[in-house]
Structure 1
Amino acid sequence: MKYILMNKHIELAKIDISDLGRIDTIEDIYNTEAFPVGVIVQNNDPFSKITRDYLDKWWHSRIIPASRDGLDYILAINNVETSSALSVKSLGLSLSDQYWIKPIKSDLSWNDVNFFTNEFSTDLGASFFIKGASSIPDISLRTPDASSNGWLKKKWTIINGKRYLAKAGSGTTFQEPYNETVASKIMDVIELPHVKYSVVMEKNRPLSLCENFITPDTEFVPAAFVSNVLPKENNEKYFSHLLKCANYLNIPQTQEYIDNLLTIDFLIENTDRHYGNFGFIRDVNTLKFIGPAPIFDNGTSLWSQVPGFEIGHWQLCKPFMETQQKQIALVKNFHLKIAGLEQCEEITRQTLLQNPFISKERIDKIANCVGNRVRVLTNHIKVNLQT
């Protein structure tokens, strides 16, 4: 079926999307400047297969992954084969950016359909959290939940007129929501820009809750697509390449942002800082970058995915080096409030103690290890200041 790819009110391209939700062809392009960043790569023909493939990759980066628990049932009751096709039914609308697909000859407008200013259904998101979701006869797809990536169950909701994302934990300990709160509180005291998280209980199950940091006039651009704007040389490090691409796009404060990311990830042993959960904010009206996004998505941390005997060990991590021990060496300057570090161990302990699904023995071990990371980081900073 044919659609017009839109950026808010701007027509970008005429595209053909298959029944499986794949972008088969780009039939016409009306505006390249307002295109998603990193889709039209420098020196590439906008109508080339490379551009089509990048656009399809971008489209799939905005949908529910196959790994999310409960997806098969959701697809079955909506009579579609893929989560991409599910997203098509919701016109690709998101709360992370202003892109959407407009059916050919439709008179729909951004003001009619967007979820920043209009109400939306919570049926789809809620259905992932309900056992025996067949009790929901009709799921409305007028929702941003069809365009929410990530493997953990999540759902958008409106509280007092503001858009919030609620996200579940995993396994038997449901630790991820508490990890988000630990990271948020630590960044409060060491004064790093971040998204604030809290834990709410829903039917005796913890969820992390955070307010949307994107507005009707901004979009989140993941690092993955910023890194696409220039070709990467064979011997070029990923870290250096990303900085080069950000500089090419005139994104301010990128080095400081990466410094801050690697600092908090070191303290909490974040093993899942991939190119999709950090990035930058662009003004959709001027198409200029405002700066880095606040730090978010810190749930896969604090040794939540490992047995007790591995707590404190260096884990394999992302995005630039294989361990946090190596990544911290990439930090050029430390921008944190050093005096706040002494609170990190107790913040970790007291926050995790609110989790009824995790033992005190495990909590103490995790907190002690955060205290050890604080001491290692403090010594590292002192050495840095002397050189």
Structure 2
Amino acid sequence: MKREYFLKHKNTIVFPCTFDDETNRLVNSGKIDAVELLPIGVGRVGNSINKKMFARWLEERQIPNTRYGFKELLERIGVDNASELMLKNLGLNMTDHYWLCPAERNLKWEEINFFENDFSVEIDTVLLKRDYVQVGDTLDLNPAYTTSGNLAKAWMIEDGKAMLYKQGSHNYMQEPFNEVFASEMHKLNNCSNYVSYRLKNIDDIPYSVCENFVDVKTEFVSARNILESVKKDNQISYLQHFKNICLDHGIENVADEVDYMIATDYIIGNSDRHTNNFGIIRNAVTLEWIKLAPIFDSGNSLWFDLSTPRIDIKQDIKCNSFYQTQDTMIKHMESIPPNIRTEEIPFLLYDIFKQSADMSEERIRKIESGLTYRGRKYKNIVNEKD
């Protein structure tokens, strides 16, 4: 059997699409009704969409099978795969205003979107400590079911604001502390475009907590989708391609902000600045590109996944980004920000990390010395460029 949906942007039908009832995979799509509202990164073939590009776009709305507790989550909800969970959640997320409306249901955006409506805020439910609430075949809609990333996470509503809680991993539960440290580093450097994180302990487990950076009037578009929206000139890099597209859409400070992000990622050894965790913010009504998205998702840094004896502060760090290592990334930058304050940040790190119950004094001091080393190395690169 097959199920019919409409991809909608708010209440406007963009195009109809069909999913297989057994595999929950896209099998067909119909004529485009609103070309101007096609998701960025989804191309056209005549009057229809490029199904391969749309299927890839949909995958970004699914939790990965590498998510902590992935199998247990599916079992408790009673679904077979992440595609089915995404469809039951109507493709809704906390990133943009697209969703999948079942053709047989007369649903309105105002009634079901996460920006204007409450959702389950029981963090124990979302993090597998309590059974899920289901009424018949209806799943409580929840943004945690369509938020990407490997870490266990949950959305909570606090004082009317949607807040993302992310847990750490491995023996040290270090990622939440990395997030808080990175935001304090940006604050020290007078950066105005970053997500601010704070720490919170629940049942002796540390979480990083941040407010959603889009709302009912704005939406996030990933660099990955932006890069796929325009054919790249073979003579330029993907990094320059991204900058050029942003410039064409009126974001004039893109070079400075991207270079700052890459530079600070280098200093903290961020291994995971992939093209889905940076991008732009656009107006959800006019579709005007407003600015680069604030810097977020810096948890996979500072040797977070290595045991203390295995940390080699002088070793180049592999990264999932435009290039394969941090040293290669920094060498390919045309402009390296010279005024980043590297001397003070090790002191910031110690004050934050000492709050951890899982990191020893030895580990904190070793990471602190590694941060000092990378800061000096960065300054040497700056001096060589002058």
Q: TM-score, normalised by structure 2?
A: 0.91
Matched, 1:22 2:25: yes
Change (3 A) 1:82 1:309: closer
Deviations 1:199-256 (Å, cap 9, x if unpaired)? 1001100010000000111111010000001223556432233233334444442212
Q: Give distance in 2, aligned partners of 1:229 and 1:243.
A: 13
Deviations 1:303-342 (Å, cap 9, x if unpaired)? 111233333121111312222222223444455754x432
**Residues 189, 337 of structure 1: 8 Å contact kept:** no
**Residues 61, 148 of structure 2: 8 Å contact kept:** yes
RMSD: 2.0
Q: Give distance in 1, aligned partners of 2:98 and 2:338.
A: 35
**Residues 227, 242 of structure 2: 8 Å contact kept:** yes
Flag structure 2 segments of 5+ consecutive residues without an equivalent: none
Change (3 A) 1:45 1:257: farther
Q: Which amino acid aligns with 1:179?
A: N
Deviation at 1:28, TM superposition (A): 2.2
Q: Give distance in 2, aligned partners of 1:148 and 1:176.
A: 17
SS of the residue aligned with 1:227?
helix
Q: Which amino acid aligns with 1:95?
A: M
**Residues 18, 29 of structure 2: 8 Å contact kept:** yes
Q: Which amino acid aligns with 2:320?
A: K
Moved over 4 A (4+): 233-236, 334-337
Match of 1:88 in 2: 87
Q: Give distance in 2, aligned partners of 1:152 and 1:38.
A: 26
**Residues 189, 341 of structure 1: 8 Å contact kept:** no
Q: Which moved more, 1:72-81 or 1:244-253?
A: 244-253
Match of 1:156 in 2: 155
Q: Which amino acid aligns with 1:316?
A: K
Match of 2:352 in 1: 351
Q: Give distance in 1, aligned partners of 2:319 and 2:373.
A: 18
Q: Which moved more, 1:369-378 or 1:5-14?
A: 369-378
Following superposition of structure 1 onto structure 2, how do residues 308-387 of structure 1 map, counting pairs within 5 Å?
308-312=309-313, 313-334=315-336, 337-338=339-340, 340-384=341-385, 386=386
Deviation at 1:136, TM superposition (A): 4.5
Match of 2:282 in 1: 282
Q: Give distance in 2, aligned partners of 1:167 and 1:184.
A: 15
Deviations 1:129-185 (Å, cap 9, x if unpaired)? 244x4x446484221111111111111110000010000100110000000011011
**Residues 252, 290 of structure 1: 8 Å contact kept:** no
**Residues 221, 282 of structure 1: 8 Å contact kept:** yes
Following superposition of structure 1 onto structure 2, how do residues 184-223 of structure 1 map, counting pairs within 5 Å?
184-192=183-191, 193-223=193-223
Change (3 A) 1:336 1:350: farther
Q: Which amino acid aligns with 1:361?
A: E
Q: Give distance in 2, aligned partners of 1:159 and 1:128.
A: 16
**Residues 92, 146 of structure 1: 8 Å contact kept:** no
Q: Give distance in 2, aligned partners of 1:161 and 1:218.
A: 17
SS of the residue aligned with 2:7?
strand
Match of 2:11 in 1: 9
Match of 2:257 in 1: 257
Q: Which amino acid aligns with 1:2?
A: E
Q: Give distance in 2, aligned partners of 1:110 and 1:185.
A: 37
SS of the residue aligned with 1:28?
coil
Match of 1:230 in 2: 230
Following superposition of structure 1 onto structure 2, how do residues 25-174 of structure 1 map, counting pairs within 5 Å?
25-40=28-43, 44-47=45-48, 51-122=50-121, 126-131=124-129, 133=130, 135-136=131-132, 138=134, 140-174=139-173
Q: TM-score, normalised by structure 1?
A: 0.91
What percentage of residue pairs aligned between the two structures are identical? 31
Q: Give distance in 1, aligned partners of 2:367 and 2:345.
A: 11
Deviation at 1:367, TM superposition (A): 0.8
Deviation at 1:104, TM superposition (A): 1.3
Flag structure 1 segments of 5+ consecutive residues without an equivalent: none
Q: Which amino acid aligns with 2:42?
A: V
| Alignment size in residue pairs | 377
Q: Give distance in 2, aligned partners of 1:279 and 1:371.
A: 29
Q: Which amino acid aligns with 1:297?
A: D
Q: Which amino acid aligns with 1:351?
A: I
Q: Give distance in 2, aligned partners of 1:283 and 1:189.
A: 29
Q: Give distance in 2, aligned partners of 1:293 and 1:109.
A: 28
SS of the residue aligned with 2:344?
helix
Deviations 1:43-78 (Å, cap 9, x if unpaired)? x43525xx1111111111111111112222222233
Q: Which amino acid aligns with 1:218?
A: T
Q: Which amino acid aligns with 1:106?
A: R
Change (3 A) 1:104 1:336: farther
Deviations 1:68-104 (Å, cap 9, x if unpaired)? 1222222223332111211111211111111111121
SS of the residue aligned with 1:270?
coil
Q: Which amino acid aligns with 1:120?
A: F
Deviation at 1:108, TM superposition (A): 1.4
Deviation at 1:282, TM superposition (A): 1.2
